[in-house]
Each structure stands twice: as C-alpha cells, then as structure tokens.
C-alpha cells in the first residue's frame, strides 16, 4: 500500500514519468522486486521502471532531492543483490533493452537494461557478435561495468574492452556522452569501474564476424582425474591460439540432472568448456585434447552448434529466484602443481551438489589491453578462481558460504589478493576489498568518482569512495 507520505513525496516524479511506477502493495510489486539470487529479500518503497532517458533523469533527480536509498537495476544478476534496497527507490532499466545493429560499422547500440541474450540475438542476425558472458540471462550493464568474462575473451577481450561509447545520466541529472574523443576519462572508468559514475542508458559495443555455427567444447570427465585434468588444462592453455577461450570447472553432477546419463549422477567431475572463434573444423581439432583427458567422459556435449546455443549452454543451471547463491573470486598468479593440488583437495567438500569451482584462463587479448584502456584490473593474473556456492535451503546458508570462503582463504598464497568484483560474494571485506581489487587503478577511480559523483549518490554497487 502506498502511504500518504510516499504519495506526496513521489507526486512530481509520477507526473513526469512515462514508464511504470510500482509501489509496495501493488500487484506487480513482488515480481518486480525479485532478483536472480533467491537469498535476497528486499522491499523497496518504489520501483521506477524507466521507459526513456528522461525517466532516468527524473528518477535520479528524485533520489538526489529526497535522499531515498537508490539502487540501479540492469539485469538483476548481481550476486550481492545491489539492484534492490529496503525502503528506497530502484531505478530499473529492464524496459530499456533495445539493441540496434550497425552491420557496416560493426557496432551495436544497446539499452542499459538489455540482457546478453538480447545482444546475441540481434547481432547474430547479421553474423556478428560482441564479447559477452556465458549465461545469456545476465544483464549487459553489470557485466560490462565490472569487466565481462566470456567465450570470446582471449580473441577479442572482455565486454568492457569492447565498449566504445556510452550515454550516461550522471548524479546531477545531465546526460554525458563518453567515447574516445569526448569525456574519455568517463569511458575509461566505465570499462571495469562498476556502476559508480552514473546510469548508463546506452552501451555501444564493437562487433566481430562470428558464426552462426561455431565449435563448442562442453565435456565432463570423472573427478578422479581432477589433478591430471587441471595440469592438462594448464598445458593446453599455454599453447592454445587466441581463438580459444577456456573455462575449467569442478563439481558434482546433481542427482537426476538431465541430460547426464543416470550413471553420472552424484559423481565428482572435472569439466572443460571452450569455444573456438573461427572455423569449426579447425576448432574441433585444436580443442580435442580437452575431450580426450579420459577415454570415456561422464558426458560430452561438444559439437558444432549455433553460437547462440553455446551462449545458453549454462542457462538452465542458474534458475532465477529459485536457488541461493554466493560467488567469490580470487586472481591466481600461477597455476602450479601445488595450487592444483590445493584446489582439488578443497573443491569436492562442497555441501551442495549444485555448486562448482571455476577456473577462467586469462590470456590473449585480455592481456593485450592495458590499464590505459580501462579501469578493469586483473589482466596480470594467470587464472581467475571462482567458487560458486549454489544451494536450495536457507538452513544451509552458513555451510555453503563457509565452503566458498575456505577455498578462497586456502588459495591466498597463490594470489596477490586481487579479485574479480563481479564475483565478490557479499563484499564483506568492504573498502579493503575494493582497493585490493583495483590495485594501482584505485586512486584514478577515486578522482573520477569525485568528478562525476562527488556525493556518492550511486553507492549500492562495488563502491569507490570519492577522493576528498
């Protein structure tokens, strides 16, 4: 029910707003406040679903003038639940999800509330692709602003690396256009510095010819071969061409999980996922060693397939709102034999069969972009380690969170303490985590924050404090 106070306070906003305003008590309220992580249960006073850039400006002005807590929602997939708050306003961009492709200029103009699936669908119609993440329901906004690891990263870089321009509504309500020529400092910050500088209403990405068919590797070997598998993975990555971006992951095949054969259910696995951004036949030959770790894998889903299908390979594993999620990360400077042994010793203690531990190889183009190009920090690492705790019952929260944290703690000696902020758990480490995550980039980010958001209006995010 909208209280008289809320009604009075929001009257001007409501008068000027073209999108949907959803208040506590409205029929659409519970659906509108729900986000991907089933652990998060927050009750904003108002969800402002913007239809236009002017709506975003109106909502920002409202938040600034009232002092209400402010969250910004793109795809709603931030693990810590930054997209929603208690008793404040959520500026929800989900209606602003259009994608326009310039096939000659190899550019995509993408609304701030689009998902990866929106981008893939529109760009593949022209045989083009933008580097995005590996689960298609994820929002491009949080993904890009935090970095963006995906299947094309070693060939073309992160999502953030391929952001060539953006329109941003800043804390003062102005629209700022950022590209390499105009406001290039802001563009630099948007390439990995999070949602700190304003609300991006449009992202412009560089596109590359790809597909429609590609060769995709998705293979699960028995966990008895985990150490040998990670060693093979390391040797493979050392010589693999940039066309290949790989992810190794360890876990347990959940009971009843389809389309795994019944004999695989409940078994520990070491798996590899990889995509070849080039000729499919060449990709099959080059990636074959990953499939041949064992003579009879638990399951092998590899093959030539449409790029959009490969982009949705993991979708069913991450249902929205149904599971509880806690994802953490650590940059590993090397993956030596000791590190591999340590990972294997810890991972299978996972309390939930839904959890996995992922190792993202960092190579090729990701390493070639540098700190002048964007704020993202982490290119110096060899691998990104990412335990994903995924479970069903609230009673198991503590055990699952502890599992992920224990693994991260156990790997500290193989890292410099930097991590990927899009897999940052609940950011329990506070400002210390932010400075470690950005290393030498932090000071420049704090100056930029001071310039574009001196009062820290945008603070429910991977927050950078304005340099005072």
- Which residues here bind ligand FAD, judged by CB under 6 A? 36, 72-79, 82-83, 93, 112, 133-135, 138-139, 141-143, 145-150, 195, 199-200, 318, 422, 460-461
Place of tokens 């985590």: 433
Shortest distance (Å) from residue 459 CB to ligand FAD: 9
- Which residue of this chain has its Cβ atom nearest to ligand FAD in the complex? 142
Q: How far is the CB of 95 from ligand FAD (least distance, A)?
A: 12
- Nearer residue to ligand FAD within complex by CB, 294 or 312: 312
Minimum distance from CB of 38 to ligand FAD (Å)?
A: 11
Shortest distance, position 190 Cβ to ligand FAD, whole Å? 8
DSSP 422: G
Structure tokens at 106: 């190899």
Question: Which C-beta is closer to ligand FAD: that of 344 or that of 437?
Answer: 437
Alpha-helical (H) ranges within 306-456 are 307-310, 337-347, 364-368, 397-410, 431-438, 442-452
List, in order, residues 6 or more apart from 293 with CB less than 8 Å away.
219, 221, 225, 228, 229, 232, 270, 272
Which H/E stretch holds residue 287? helix 280-291
Shortest distance, CB of residue 384 to ligand FAD, whole angstroms?
Answer: 9
391: alpha, beta or left? (left if phi > 0; alpha if psi -120 to 50): beta
Rounded to a whole number of angstroms, the minimum distance from the CB of residue 174 to ligand FAD is: 15
Least spacing, CB of residue 358 vs ligand FAD, in Å = 9
Q: What is the DSSP string of 184-214?
A: HHHHHHHTTS-TTS-EEEEEEEE-EE--SEE
Dig out the tokens for 12 from the structure: 């001007």
Q: Which is nearer to ligand FAD, 206 or 222 (CB)?
A: 206
Q: Is residue 293 a contact partner of residue 221, using CB atoms and an 8 Å limit?
A: yes
User: What is the three-class DSSP state of 312?
Assistant: coil
Query: Is the Cβ of residue 138 or residue 353 nearer to ligand FAD in the bound state?
Result: 138
* Comparison of 134 and 434: residue with beta carbon closer to ligand FAD: 134
| Residue of 89, 57, 58 lying closest to 73 (CA atoms) | 89
Count other C-beta atoms under 10 Å from residue 7's C-beta: 11
220 closest CA partner among 229, 228, 212: 229
Which neighbouring-strand residues pair with 303? 216
Q: Closest CB to ligand FAD among 293 and 330? A: 330
Closer to ligand FAD at the Cβ: 78 or 344?
A: 78
Q: How far apart are CA 72 and CA 461, in angstroms?
A: 9
Could you tell me the two tokens for 223?
Answer: 């966990």
Distance in Å, CB of 2 to ligand FAD, minimum: 24
The answer to whether the CB of 316 falls within 8 A of the CB of 218 is no
Quote the CA–CA distance of 232 and 226 in Å, as a whole number: 10
To the nearest whole angstrom, how small is the minimum distance from the Cβ of residue 8 to ligand FAD? Answer: 28
Q: Which is nearer to ligand FAD, 74 or 222 (CB)?
A: 74
> Shortest approach of ligand FAD to residue 374 CB, angstroms?
14
Give the residue with the Cβ less far from ligand FAD, 42 or 231. Answer: 42
Q: How many residues does the chain have?
A: 468
- Pick 29 or 289: Cβ nearer ligand FAD: 29
CA 303 to the chain's CA centroid: 25
- CA 202 to CA 166: how far, in whole Å? 5
Closest alpha carbon to 199 in 142, 252, 125: 142
């Amino acid at each position: 029910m909208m209280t008289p106070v809320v009604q009075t306070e929001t009257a001007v906003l409501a008068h000027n707003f073209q999108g949907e305003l959803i208040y506590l008590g409205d029929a659409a309220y519970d659906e509108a406040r729900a986000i991907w992580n089933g652990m998060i249960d927050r009750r904003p006073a108002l969800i402002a679903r913007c239809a236009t850039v002017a709506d975003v400006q109106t909502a920002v002005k409202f938040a600034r003038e009232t002092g209400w807590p402010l969250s910004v929602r793109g795809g709603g997939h931030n693990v810590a639940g930054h997209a929603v708050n208690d008793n404040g306003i959520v500026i929800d961009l989900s209606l602003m999800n259009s994608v326009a492709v310039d096939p000659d200029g190899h550019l995509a103009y993408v609304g701030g509330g689009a998902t990866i699936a929106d981008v893939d669908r529109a760009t593949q119609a022209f045989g083009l692709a933008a580097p995005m993440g590996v689960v298609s329901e994820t929002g491009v906004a949080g993904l890009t602003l935090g970095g963006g690891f995906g299947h094309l990263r070693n060939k073309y870089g992160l999502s953030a690396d391929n952001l060539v321009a953006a329109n941003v509504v800043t804390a003062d309500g102005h629209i700022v256009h950022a590209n390499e020529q105009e406001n290039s400092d802001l563009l630099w910050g948007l390439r990995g510095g999070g949602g700190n500088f304003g609300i991006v209403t449009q992202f412009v990405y560089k596109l590359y010819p790809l597909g429609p068919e590609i060769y995709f590797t998705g293979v699960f070997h028995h966990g008895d071969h985990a150490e040998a598998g990670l060693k093979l993975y390391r040797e493979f990555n050392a010589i693999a061409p940039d066309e290949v971006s790989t992810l190794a992951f360890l876990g347990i095949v959940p009971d009843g999980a389809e389309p795994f054969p019944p004999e695989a259910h409940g078994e520990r696995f070491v798996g590899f996922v990889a995509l070849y951004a080039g000729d499919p036949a060449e990709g099959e030959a080059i990636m074959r060693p990953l499939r041949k770790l064992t003579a009879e894998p638990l399951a092998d889903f590899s093959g030539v397939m449409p790029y959009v299908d490969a982009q949705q390979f993991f979708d069913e594993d991450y249902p929205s709102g149904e599971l509880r999620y806690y994802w953490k990360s650590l940059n590993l400077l090397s993956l030596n034999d000791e590190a591999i042994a340590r990972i294997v010793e810890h991972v299978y203690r996972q309390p939930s069969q839904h959890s996995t531990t992922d190792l993202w190889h960092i190579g090729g183009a990701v390493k070639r972009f540098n700190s002048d190009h964007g704020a993202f920090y982490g290119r110096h690492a060899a691998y990104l380690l990412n335990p994903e705790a995924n479970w069903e019952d609230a009673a198991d929260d503590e055990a699952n969170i502890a599992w992920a944290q224990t693994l991260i703690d156990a790997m500290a000696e193989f890292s410099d303490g930097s991590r990927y902020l899009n897999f940052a758990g609940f950011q329990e480490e506070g400002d210390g985590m932010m400075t470690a995550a950005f290393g030498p980039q932090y000071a420049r980010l704090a100056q930029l924050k001071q310039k574009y958001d001196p009062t820290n209006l945008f603070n429910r995010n991977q927050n950078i404090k304005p340099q005072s």
